[in-house]
A = this chain, B = another copy of it.
Amino acid sequence: MARAKTAKPYHHGELREALVSAGRKLMEERGLRGFTLRECARRAAVSHAAPAHHFASIDDLLAEIATRGYHELTAAMSAEARRSGNDAAARLVGQGVGYMAFAAANPVLFQLMFSREANRFETPELAEAAKSAYHLHREAVEAVIPQASGEVKERMVDFAWASVHGFITLVLEGQLGEKDSSRALKARGLAALSAMVEAVVRAGGEP
C-alpha cells in the first residue's frame, strides 16, 4: 500500500548517525546511569529493537560515542595549541586549555571516555583514537624539554597529563569550588597549568 506523503518512511536512512547524536545528548542530559538504548531509539523515532542492526549492544554504541569523543578531544587540543604560537611551553599550556575546554563542554562524555567501564568495550578504533590524543600530548611535553633524558621525559609526560586531567576531573565532579564563576575557575585552571609547565621545565633542565 502506498504510504501517505508525510508518513515517515519504513527505513530511517541515517539511523546510525541519529543514534549517536541522540545518545550524546541523552547522556549529557541524564548522566551515564540515565543512558538507555531504548531512549536513544525513542529519540530517533524508531522501535526499541532497531538499534541492534547498527550496534550489537549498548556497549557498542558507547564505544562509538567515546571514539568520536577522542577525535574531538584531539582536535580541540590541536586547535588550541595552534592558537598559542610557536613557544613550546605556551603550546603545552594551550593544549591543556583545549583539553579542559572539551571536558567542560562534554562532561558526561568525558567521564565515559575515561571511565573504568570503557576498558570493557574497548574496540580497536577506540584504542587508536585514544592513542592519537596521547601522542599529541606526549610530543607537546617533549618539545618543552628536548634536552632531557628519555626517562625524565616519560615521567614528565605522566606528570603533565595527570595535572591537567586531575584538575578538570575534580572540577567536573564538583569537588573544586563549584560555586566559582566559570571565569574564576578558568583562572584557577590556568594557574594549575602554569605550575605544571614550570615543574616540567625545571625537571627537564640541564641534568
Contacts and interface: CB of A to CB of B under 8 A. Distances in A.
Interface of A: 31-33, 107-108, 111, 114-120, 130, 134, 155-156, 158-159, 161-167, 169-170, 172-176, 188, 191-192, 195-196, 198-200, 202-203
B111 A173 contact: no
Contacts of A164: 162, 166
Q: Which 4 A-B pairs have the closest CB atoms?
A: A166-B166, A162-B166, A199-B199, A162-B167
A169 B111 contact: no
A118 B156 contact: no
Given A116-B172, A155-B195, A163-B196, 6 more contacts: A31-B117, A155-B188, A159-B163, A162-B163, A162-B166, A165-B169
22 contacts: A33-B117, A111-B115, A114-B173, A116-B172, A116-B173, A156-B195, A158-B170, A159-B163, A159-B196, A161-B166, A161-B170, A161-B176, A162-B164, A162-B170, A162-B192, A163-B163, A164-B166, A166-B167, A195-B200, A196-B199, A199-B199, A202-B202
Contacts of A33: 117
